[in-house]
Amino acid sequence: MTTHTLLMPLDMHLHLRDGVMLENVAPLTAYSFSGAIVMPNLVPPVSTLEDIQAYRERIMAAVPNDFFEPYMTLFYKNYDKAFLESVADEITAIKLYPAGITTNSEGGVSSFDIEEMRPTLEAMSNLNIPLCVHGETDGFVMDREAEFMSIYELLASNFPNLKIIMEHITTKEAVNMLDKFDNLYATITVHHLLLTLDDVVGGMMMPHNFCKPIAKRPEDLDALLSVALEAHPKVMFGSDSAPHPQEKKESCGCAAGIFTAPIALQLLCEIFEQYDKLDNLQAFVSDNAQSIYGLCPEFKEIILEKRPFVIPEHYANVVPMYAGQAINWAIASVD
């Protein structure tokens, strides 16, 4: 039996939601990951010290028997330095959403006026708080990420000491940005290493393959694979696993989000083995993130084995990507 071992896997972009959904999905990530950066776009968003502490408590209550660290984030607003100093020890990053661009982002940034943002971003630079960015404009859906590159350039050049994470990149333009600025990094999802727009709407609409940013063209997929498979030191795995109830996905007005949390490591093994790059998977799913964020996660050893695994049709009331399909890798043990 072929096996592959991963140590301290980290998911550097995760949606855990809240309430019953949190209770259902958090244990699935905590089982196979040592830690995860948890997104703050709840309703209302996580924007105060009390919000951070209370949300962390709810997450830990949902995963009481697993060695798992939720790396908390704050929803970006123009905070003052005194406030940021008061929360710096409680958070790993601050997440910036353009207003209305994705789920629960209505309170996000509506104007990228650098001078208006300067006090907050300079304070973050001084306090070594990374800025995670959902990088899309409100333009034509296939061009939104590429159009956002000028904003990344503006942020990176004006705040050279600010660590900026381009979240869930999907385009060759974003890949090309990686080496233009020392302070730009990126997360890549497993689904964007597998899907193009054809897999979403090329035939019948596939609601469980629909997310934002939407999957792009074959040449974009190739660009993502080129840096992920080589474990480029400025990229790291972030699932952007985004659970929605089945009735919200399979409906008019399909909710954006793909649920991959319980199958992400298995799918990544399949991809990296396909390209004979399994030796690079450890860096992509853990080592690079530890270096970029300065993390020291709890020890966890995941042994995966090459054998058929049929993805469940449901996890509670959430349908995963590739539900009911067989994949080639399965989790054998967690220690």
Cis peptide leading into residue 119 (ω within 30°):
no
**Is 220 a catalytic site residue?**
no
Distance (Å) of CA 226 to CA 33, 169, 272: 24, 13, 11
- Can you say whether the dihedral through the CA atoms of 37, 43, 49, 50 is positive or negative? negative
Out of 11, 51, 220, 240, the active site residue is: 240
Catalytic positions, written as ranges:
240
